[in-house]
Structure 1
Amino acid sequence: MDRRKFLKNSALASSLFFVPNFVKAFESVASERLGYKRLVIVQLAGGNDGLNTIIPYNNDLYYNARPKLAITKDIIKLNDDLGFHPSLSPLRALFDNGELSIINNVGYPNPVRSHFRSMDIWQTASGSDEYLQSGWLGRYLDQHGKKPYNAIEIDEQLSLAMKGEHFNGIATNDFKVLYNSAKDPYFQNILSHYNDTHLSEHNLGYLYQTMIEAKSSASYIFENTDVKTSQETYPQNAFAKQLKNVAQFINSGLDTKVFYTSLGGFDTHANQNNKQTKLLSQYAESVSAFVSDLKRNDTFKDTLILTFSEFGRRVKQNAANGTDHGAANNVFVIGKDLKKAGFYNNLASLNDLDSNGDIKYNVDFRSVYATILSKWMDVSVDGIIPNEQEQLNFI
């Protein structure tokens, strides 16, 4: 049995993993020093309605398709055709400063409208007919990671995106709890037996080495994170807390290159307007505070923020004043000195939808990933992003 199957199937492994999910498979496969630039991922889980996020306010087809859902008041006009949902007003300064690039019509061929399957596709960078067991960020770690803390997800469980073939990131929503769990007497007692001959061979030895690396990562994060009170005021919501933790890690100078966060609740089949208004407010207010925190500490210049959702919504509203699962969507990229800020491309035609009534994609999401890896993280995409992808020009 190979190591990955052993870790998945072993009863001993299951009994040891009562401590938090930071106990993940680890194997050092690279020794080069990582670059200084950081990537922050924001996942809008559930399928955010991109058409009410970036609004074609001069398009009659938009209003005809959504007699009750179309946004008609307080639209933040960004050019002659497109504008922000009113809840995104905190992002207006980023747009005006050239620190936000909005990529429209992002998707992939033969789109899948299942939450779980589409999220797997986005997280693994697979095609719609491929099933990969590792994530695109996990494969980045396989090639360029040194320690589990090189990639941190602010959650209790690790997303597929952060799992590699040999190397995983680390998941925690409270680094102090992570550290205290690693000090648990039972956990310590298990590790004390690592040098036993019968335990240090083959799969058990690998398992124990994994646990040792996890404990070391917990200690590193705890000992190197500056716990001084942030001077930035964040909104009082769970997503803002995630970003505040990320800012604390970044501003402390941790050797972490990838951070993963998420905001859920975007599956708006019914009564969409109130739900999306609240969620977009949380997103925009939290991201604005996060960027301000980084700028205050001179770390924004080395940070890129990518926001995506697993699919958009149907152009036509449904009978419950909501929208059903769609396909192509917009992606937000936030950073300093973007090559093409504002709107990277125009919104696809609402008069030429696919057979399901969805906006057609013309930018493959894997091109976005490939561009970030190549032009921002300064690494080859070979072995990370399957198939050759076009390089975009937003960074």
Structure 2
Amino acid sequence: MTNDTTGHAIVCDRAVGDARPDGGTRRTGVVGAGVMGRDIAALLANGGHEVVLVDVDPDALAAAEAYLESDAAGALADAGLAADDVADALTDRIGYATDLDALADCGFVVEAISESLAAKRGLLAELERVLAPDAVVGTNTSSLTASAVADEAEHPERVVLFHFANPAIPRDVVEINGEAASEDALALAGSVARDMGKTPFRLGTERRANGLSRLSAAIKCAGTWELLDADAAAIEVGAQNMGFPRGPLAFIDLIGIDIHLATVDNLAVEYGGRFDPPESVRERMESMVADGRAGAKDGEGFFVWQDGEAVLPDVESPHDVQPIVAALVNEAHRMVGDGVADRETLNEILKRGSGGAIGPFDIEGMVGGDVLRDVLESRYAETGAGVFEPAETLG
């Protein structure tokens, strides 16, 4: 696809992606050695880049190095991305450091730290001390905007959204934008994404939660409201029966309940309470985090986790998840209205980002907009939750 004059999203063209500024883009960096950061480092190295992975925590770096030298090659192979020299690439092309000075000669750096605006701005200030003026910084934020991260920067034009789905290796999407970013920076981000074997999508209007994360936020929020009427396992089975590769509560577990709540708070700055869980459910989630049950990383959240998968108890009757499906389609309508992306692009982003076969407007075509509006109106009357308030264009 190519860009048009309406601000709709595009899939970055090969011509745009290949238009790299001179100065070497093969030396790249990643800040944050958590699950997302280590996978990004693996994708970069597998794509031919020399990578420096930086984290202030030496234990986090050691854990990332152990993963990258043992399990990452298998993950890349399972995703159909492994280069012929993948094992050597992950060993020879990735270096590790606790000091940002190690990034001094990098032309492109991805930050994958916590979803805190203050933390990201602080990191960017430190990176600007280290990096050359024309080096580009990609922010993997899922609930902020590149412009907000860059607002206090000396060179805001270097900061671009560079957002992956979770998990990063198997999901074929990287979202790119930044209203303060230069075209050179955006083009370089597209080129790097393609080196990694990913399809870059250039989004339109900059809004918190980008494209994929906003669709996911609607699903997860609606899922927490359904907890008022059903248990987590019944919701999960109902979602899987509807064709979701993973239901909303298992997805919250996967990213971390603590991270989900922080994301909800970030989104509230722009969207009010639209993505808030019910107060009683929020209290339950905060208690789970305090008790060390924040999800998959702790081995338990809404579900017990084994070998990377949620263990579901037997469910007598799956829950009707039509309200969750309706909330997803509803949010997609709002996003088109906001200029984030057009219908075709949102369909593609959700399919690639979730690993599923259908997008929100595919669902609308199958179920019917009038049916979805009726579901939303009923659930909105019952709960008053903003996620269920019907969009004007639906139905």
TM-score, structure 1 length as denominator?
Answer: 0.27
Q: Whose helix proportion is higher, 1 or 2?
A: 2
Q: Which has the higher contact order (CA 8 A, sep 6+)?
A: 1
Q: Which has the larger radius of gyration?
A: 1
**TM-score relative to the length of structure 2:** 0.27
